[in-house]
């Protein structure tokens, strides 16, 4: 299944136009966490910058599969 990892706040959205293929929702959750950890490791993300943001993981139709609060995920 192809999942899209969109970053969303109350006033802005950064949409994933490509997505990636994953085997199931467990793998999609692992990918989401790994992406956040990579953002921290490379200095792209500071926890304070992502407060109020969430990662909405959607399928090919745009239906939300699950949401992760980035402030909590990055903490």
Provide the domain count of the chain.
Answer: 1
Q: Residue 35 in contact with residue 8, Cβ under 8 Å?
A: no
The pTM (predicted TM-score) of the whole model is 0.83
Q: What is the pLDDT of residue 35?
A: 84
What's 61's DSSP letter?
Answer: T
Domain span including residue 10: 2-74
Written as tens digits, the pLDDT of the chain (75 aa) is 999 999 998 899 999 999 999 999 999 999 988 887 777 677 666 656 677 888 999 999 999 999 988 777 655
Q: What is the pLDDT of residue 64?
A: 95
């Amino acid at each position: 299944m192809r999942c899209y990892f969109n970053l969303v706040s109350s006033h802005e959205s950064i949409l994933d136009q490509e997505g990636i293929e994953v085997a199931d929702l467990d793998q999609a959750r692992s990918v989401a966490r790994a992406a956040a950890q990579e953002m921290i490791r490379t200095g792209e993300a500071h926890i304070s910058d992502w407060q109020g943001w969430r990662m909405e993981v959607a399928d090919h139709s745009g239906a939300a599969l699950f949401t992760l609060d980035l402030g909590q995920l990055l903490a």
